[in-house]
Structure 1
Amino acid sequence: MREDLLPIGAFARACGLSPKALRLYDSLGLLRPARVDPVTGYRYYAAGQLESARLVVWLRRLDMPLAGIREVCALGPAAAAREIGAHWARVEAETALRRDLAAFLIAHLTREPAHGPGKDDLTMTELRHHAHSDTGRVRPANQDAAYAGGRLLAVADGFGPAGASASSAAVQALRFLDDGEPPADGVLDLLEEAVRAAAEAVRDAASGAGEAGTTLTALLWTGSRLALTHIGDTRAYVLRDGGLSLLTRDHTLVQSMVDEGRLTPLEAAADPRRSLLARALTGDGTAARPDLRLYDSLPGDRYLLCSDGLSTVVPEPRLRGLLAAAPDPDRAVTSLIDAAGAAGGPDNVTCVVADAPALAA
């Protein structure tokens, strides 16, 4: 036997994996032993395999699934580092979702019960809203779609030969959410199921063509909170106390490069690849995971949902000023679309603006 080979027990102690785990990883082709005794079946590992084994240990501590670990171990250092970063970003997003849901459940379960007349829990009336979509000054057709109701706001931006049908189908699939008051419990599950239905509708509308699809951003009113779903580069903002905050993160190649530190936000704004999507609802039915969030809403909040025909040509300080100056959602939408046109209107531009009403006892 070679002197640099370690029996499975010694190798397990050196790398921090149990012999049982090593046998599992051998059967999965993830970490093969350097030699297997043909008579006893005993496994031996080379000392040079310790680094790979320790990488597996560390990746398991990050809760990376075995299929992902197999991919990372097959990559070079730079590519492996990027894949680990992408995995951790997904973990953080899922953790944030569970944190928001936990906070909601805690608040719901510890709410003081109402006693006597006039002591009912405060409720929210419906949103005041307005929506409009404009073809712009360059594109021959409009592939955007929008919906604004008392409880549901949605914007979709289609692409490809069936883009208009895809965006309309996605928004239409969500409209049932505006019928009646959505349940406070499980609203994110309800929204996620609605997006699955939207994905199926997009696939049908695009006739299975993978080059066609749509982005989708929607807000669902649940009383004093807003449930958000988002996929692609349509956006949602909130204007609160004079400050404008972006509620969504673009699912684009350029945004991922910003997240990795390979581009600055200023460089990203001018990058010719900024419209390349990393996630969308596509005609070929490819599974795409939407972002899901819960947000507390305050009286006086103003919400903007828009396609990238607005956000790429009108800078945020200008968006904030126009939203703050408009006395109502109708005039806010008009001023925003006019601003996009004044900036050249290179793309379809769609806006939905809604105001959170005052609390009513």
Structure 2
Amino acid sequence: MGLLTIGAFAKASRLSPKALRLYDDLGLLTPARTDPDTGYRFYAPAQLEQARLVAWLRRLGMPLARIREVCALDAAAAAAAVRVYWAQVEADTAARRELAAFLVDHLSWKEPAMTDLTTPALPLGIRYAALSDAGLVRESNQDTAYAGSRLLAVADGFGPTGAPASAAAVDVLRRLETDQVPAGNLLNVLEDAIERAGHAVHGVTAAPPGTGSRSGSESAPLEAGTTLTAMLFTGSQLALVHIGDSRAYLLRDGELFQITHDHTLVQQMVDEGRLSAAEAASHPQRALLLRALAGGVGGAPELRLRDARAGDRYLLCSDGLSAVVPVGDITRVLVGFAEPEQAVRDLVALANACGGPDNVSCVVAEVHAAA
């Protein structure tokens, strides 16, 4: 078969002549021959496969510069590159979805239509405790747990500088204990603090990474960094920030609810219906993070606002607890504890009784009517 005109090639490849001219100018799809007098382009039938690949990648939304890189690879490497690109797209989409959900909730929230001025609301406080333990297998503890009158936080470090990474993130947030936070600016203040925490983590993870990191991502390997789950209490509201696979739970009226979403590859596969929850629990890549505070990469954290309610009990924990202790046992401890100090001791003991395969950190807090 001879050369195809640009019109015939456009029809066969499902690319417009305009697109073909653009790809020629960019060196992405060079014609087999260009008439020196008329500038008319001719294509070889063998170029159809590459043209169709370009068309498919454009439908994925892949930038032209990246398409050029993919087209230069062999089939196996190109498939891997497409897999990496799509994992990144899905992670970015998930972050935007969570932001949209937050904005809907935030913009839908309204002040009560009427306030009974004769019966002022009782001020609320929290009783709290934090405990972190290396577990029974790991040589060192890369977790950091903190509980104060306004801030609750758990960070699970990973990689060769995981311990200083988790400590740096929580240390930045601890400054919020003494900062004055306007009620209507709570989330903005927390978002700024998280940005500073990210810079602090980058500062301790910027050295050339070693091997043996806990987690990573298909889109960008996370060699060292930390998860972070934290709550900032103002007396009437709690602002929640979350990134990674540490968790926050709420115990209300005897029922335990997970109020964070794991930023892991396995959880994404569950969300997409590719894995069941039971399969995810034993999946070999269940600790593979898609988002964390990490040097140079990491993704966006979740930010949410919750109304404080007397009697609510909150648990923040690393996956050293949630990955090994059944939810029913966690609920039993949180329902039955008299004081937060006893609850965190019992939860850590449960994790170690299950083999203690990882560092385990717990923060327990109860909202109560202040005296």
TM-score (norm 2): 0.74
Match of 1:233 in 2: 245
Q: Deviations over 1:223-254 (max 9, x none)?
A: 65443333332222222333322233333444
1:257–1:263 CA contact under 8 A, matched in 2: yes
Shift of 1:272: 4.2
Q: Distance in 2 between matches of 1:357 and 1:84?
A: 46
| Number of corresponding residues | 350
Higher mean alpha-carbon deviation, 308-317 vs 153-162, is at: 153-162
What is the alpha-carbon distance in structure 2 between the residues aligned to residue 241 and residue 195 of structure 1? Answer: 31
Aligned counterparts of 2:254 and 2:368: Cα–Cα separation in 1: 17
- Shift of residue 280, structure 1, vs aligned partner: 3.2
The residue aligned with 2:301 is 291
Matched with 1:127 is: 126
Which residue of structure 2 aligns with residue 99 of structure 1? 101
Cα distance in 2 for partners of 1:85, 1:278 equals 9
Partners of 2:263 and 2:32 in 1: CA distance: 42
Instruction: State percent identity of aligned pairs.
Output: 48
Q: What residue number does 2:56 align with?
A: 55
Contact 2:324 2:351 in 1 (8 A): yes
User: Closer, same or farther in 2 for the Cα pair 1:72/1:186, shift >3 Å?
Assistant: farther
Deviates more, 1:304-313 or 1:132-141: 132-141
**Tell me, what secondary structure is at the counterpart of 1:290?**
coil
Query: How far did residue 326 of structure 1 move?
Result: 1.7
Question: 2:259 corresponds to which residue?
Answer: 247
Letter in 2 for 1:269: A
Deviation at 1:350, TM superposition (A): 0.9
2:330 aligned residue: 319
Q: Deviations over 1:149-208 (max 9, x none)?
A: 233211112234433222211110111223345345554443333223223322333462
Q: Is the 8 A contact 2:250 2:256 kept in 1?
A: yes
- Between the aligned partners of 2:40 and 2:328, the Cα distance in structure 1 is 68
- Provide the secondary structure at the position in 1 that maps to 2:298: coil
Equivalent residues in 2 for 1:293-312, closer than 5 Å: 293-297=303-307, 299=309, 300-312=311-323
Q: Determine the structure 2 residue equivalent to 1:6.
A: 6
Deviation at 1:37?
A: 4.8
CA 1:3/1:31 → structure 2, altered by over 3 Å: closer, same or farther?
A: closer
User: Of the candidates 266, 273, 285, which is equivalent to residue 278 of structure 2?
Assistant: 266
Instruction: Indicate whether 1:172 and 2:171 are aligned.
Output: yes
Counterpart Cα distance in 1 of 2:117 and 2:368:
23
Alpha-carbon offset, residue 217 of structure 1: 1.7
Mark the runs of 5 or more structure 2 residues left unpaired by the alignment: 211-223
Stretch deviating more after TM superposition (165-174 or 231-240): 231-240
Q: Which residue of 1 aligns with 2:199?
A: 200
RMSD: 4.1
Q: How does 1:331-342 map to 2 (within 5 A)?
A: 331-342=342-353
SS in 2 for 1:93: helix
Deviation at 1:321, TM superposition (A): 1.9
Paired letter, 1:144: D
CA distance in 2, matches of 1:227, 1:342: 33
User: How far is the alpha carbon of 1:116 from its aligned partner?
Assistant: 9.4
TM-score normalised to structure 1 length: 0.76
Instruction: Supply the AA of the counterpart residue of 2:256.
Output: L
SS at match of 1:313: coil
**Cα distance per residue 1:78-121 (max 9 Å; x no partner):** 7547744652453143133133124313435xx4688895598x
Structure 1 residues without counterparts, runs of 5 or longer: none
- In 2, the alpha carbon distance for the partners of 1:89 and 1:161 equals 25
**Corresponding residue SS for 2:141:** coil
- Report the 3-state secondary structure (helix = DSSP H, G, I; strand = E; otherwise coil) of the residue aligned with 1:228: strand
Query: Alignment partner of 1:356: what SS?
Result: strand
Task: Please tell me the residue identity of whatever aligns with 2:254.
Answer: G
Is contact 2:146-2:154 (8 Å) kept?
yes
Structure-2 change in CA distance of 1:201 and 1:45 (3 Å): same
* 1:218 aligned partner: 230
Amino acid at match of 2:243: I
Q: Secondary structure at the match of 1:310?
A: helix
**Structure-1 separation of matches of 2:353 and 2:168:** 30
